[in-house]
Amino acid sequence: LEQVNGAKRFNGLEDPLEEEKYILYDQVKNITGVDINDLKLDKNGEIIGGNETFQKLINGSAYIGLQSTKSFVSDLKKLLTYGTYKVNDMNRTIDFQNNELIDRDVQYGFGKKQLQPWFDSFMKGKSTIDTFF
């Protein structure tokens, strides 16, 4: 996941909401079997939908992982308020070419022939990407 985000960051294509949606979708689906696209907020801003296991999760009586229930619910509400349909699904664009893995559709990726030009320009102080370090 971090390599996908790194390649997107290098190429100016990073959308932080894609990662947030991916993580929340994965957590909710794996723990409860609920699809976050089926969840809604009521007029009071409370999450509705899901099943009994999902309700236990947002009420704090089921295990989420290292993230706190309050943080999890807050992140989920922000995403639902914004609209899950407005956020692209995270796509992995990795391919095998010339006997190596490359990131498709980007100039700078993590394949040897993609990373070397970026690294050379960075070492010369001419890199257009300065958010990595």
Gap between the Cα atoms of 112 and 102, Å rounded: 8
Q: From first to last of its 133 residues, what are the pLDDT tens digits of the chain?
A: 455 555 556 555 566 787 788 888 888 999 899 999 999 999 999 999 989 999 988 888 666 765 677 888 999 999 999 998 888 776 667 666 677 766 666 666 666 676 677 677 767 766 555 444 4
Tokens 């040897």 label which residue? 112
Q: Is the pTM of this model over 0.85?
A: no
SS3 21: helix
CB 131 within 8 A of CB 9: yes
- Are 110 and 7 a contacting pair, CB within 8 Å? yes
Distances (CA, A) of 80 to 7, 23, 124: 27, 14, 44
In this structure, are residues 103 and 94 in contact, taking their beta carbons and an 8 Å threshold? Answer: yes
Residue 95 DSSP symbol: E
